[in-house]
A and B are shown apart, each in its own frame.
Chain A
Amino acid sequence: MSMFRAKKLDLGCFTNIKIIRDHSKRKAYEAAEAERQALRYVIRNTTLPARTRAIAQLQLTQMHCYTRPTQIRNRCILGGKGRGILSDFKMSRYNFRLQALAGNLPGVKKASW
């Protein structure tokens, strides 16, 4: 959603629309995290009246989908791919292989025995 997008591109890695979208979702989640956690607390607290908890449930489900943490997906910072990502290196498996063989990743070495 364009209202969550930065007015000026603030990414220094490979960019395509999927990366920009994911980045906006991450920022939206960061902004709304405190509110989400507060609502989650009210929902889980069984000592509160049932009505309050039901209202909190409704409010949580009615928040924008961009503020949901489950919308966030790790993507490759070199090619934008969404599958086969090594989260330690934020790279897809093929880009990881290329970078590792080129010696750009400190401490990574091809196994041989």
Chain B
Amino acid sequence: MATLSTDLTETSDTPWGRSRVLTVLLAVAFALILAKAVGILPEWLNRIPEAAIPPTAQVLDAVFSFIQNDLGLIYVTRFIAEGPLEFLLDTSANLLEGKRRWPYLGPIPWSAIAAVAGVVGYAVGGWRLAALGAGTFIWTAAIGQWKIAMQTMSVIVVAAPLAFLLGLALGIAAWKYGWFERMLKPILSVLQTLPFFTYLLPAVIFFKVGPTAGAVATITFAIPPMILMTTLGLKKVSPEVIEAGQMSGCTRWQMLRHVYVPAARTEILVGVNQVIMLCLAMVVLTAFIGMPGLGAKLLAMMGSFKLGRSFEIGVTIVLLAVTLDRMSKAWVVKQPVHFERGTPWWKRYKISLVALGLFIGFILLSQLFPILAEVGRKQHLSQGKEIDVVIKSFLAIEAIKETTEWLRWFLNVKVLIPFRDTLLAIPTPAFILIVVAFAYWIGGRRPGIYAAVFFTIVAFSGWWDRSVITLYTVISAVALATLIGIPLGVIAARSERWSKSILLACDTAQTFPSFIYLIPAIMLFGVNDVAVVFSILIFAAVPLIRYTIIGLSSVPSEMTEAADMSGSTRRQKLMSVQFPLALPTMAVGFNQAIMFAFFMVIIAAFIGTQDLGQELQRTLAGTELGKNFVLGLNVSLMALTFDMAISSWTEQRKKRLGLD
């Protein structure tokens, strides 16, 4: 039965009534603002005085130093860094890029790796993935980026399996022990909103500069989704499969090894996919702590405004990302197929044999033809300079130049700067009250209380103005992304063909390491605030478009049919049936957009911002772990406030609409 009621009556969950609380909160905030405008607000109510701010960073520094030196954690971490981890990284670096370390075998010829990638692609997803796999590596070699790409890959091939194993183990523990899961959950939410700079500095301090620190930061960054997916998968194993295992007389270990983990295969492999993608995203970012590789090269090229080379490196990173993503996703859906009885062994292992044959074959061939082993300096096909000229002359075309310059002027002078100044002018307590009112209005009492606590902590951290600037950037970018993304999604959702291709484009865009989004921003707008907002905007628009399409197209067809039969116009149908039902899903996209924006705004420190990210980037040069943590936590707390409010709204709404 398709009941068409999407107007929900407000139910108040407090005796006080929601609207009254809101009125009081906003009235106080407004009174404070007014008082400031008239000039009667005492300064201690405008900003928290320096004297009242606790020395959190110093205290944290003392605590870290105690753990690090007095408790001797540094020896443990240094041992891991210089022992097993460095050994693994050296081995992979030797094999892939030819670093002079044990086992002194590498570098493996690029042609052999491309051939194996092609066969693996074929095994998991047919000819198209074979072409993608082989093509990516051929491109990388041909364009002359093999060595730096392999520097990046050599960290991924160590970090991804370790993150997988650790995530799997922690996920199993969280599933097995309720107390462990309860303890882990808040830590994971903080970890997932913590800016990546906060992963980098501790890694450098505890694990020695270079690949080891990069690997540690990457592993930490990639673990959370693996834990969540493992726990989810194990919880979803059908009770009958579990009972079948018990009735077969499995011991606890056998249950885990032969029943639970294989039955949760799909979720665990989805976790693997996420681990790989996060590893790639983070490895590129480790450029900020001086890790060589694609990220460092991109950073250098963009820094010197060499757009052609930046573009080429960008393409390499994107190709690698798409290849890794598509292959690991194809592996998720690939189901085993039986062989007829009596199939000879070489037929059963045909694909592995072909891969091995090609691998050895290309190694031998590359002895004869050195170009198959390594594409030399003068041999590669890079057109960096030419592309650079093309891009720059394109941007110099009068019409385009005028458009971008006008946009830059308009956004900066008319929108961004006034908005920023307004936000900065609001007294701290009024600002907190407005945020609390927002969280309370959207999510209810709990998110409201959390918002109050979190923002008060931010206010007392001593970085209020920079936090407000961070927030301003995020809000402007997400607002612009919403203005562009939602209409785009609505239009795309009208036709199935369009939704499909745009969804595919969004899915692909989401696999790109966030760093990539800086390239077009810098190309179009140069190095300034507009470029920052623009890079965040395109990054955040992706989930908005994606979830708008998903939300609209998942409205049950009997509902839209009922609306059609009631004689509603397309607009009426959209406004009173499709939007209300799609809103919870669209809110998920909105939430993701905000989280993405908080992530991106920190990366944009590279372009030059005056927010928390800039301060964070500065800490990387030193050893101010305490300050780094305080700054990172500020970002995390602000992001969590929004996350909690929106998620709680989505959940309540879904419950009341009777969805899932």
Do A and B pair up? The answer is no
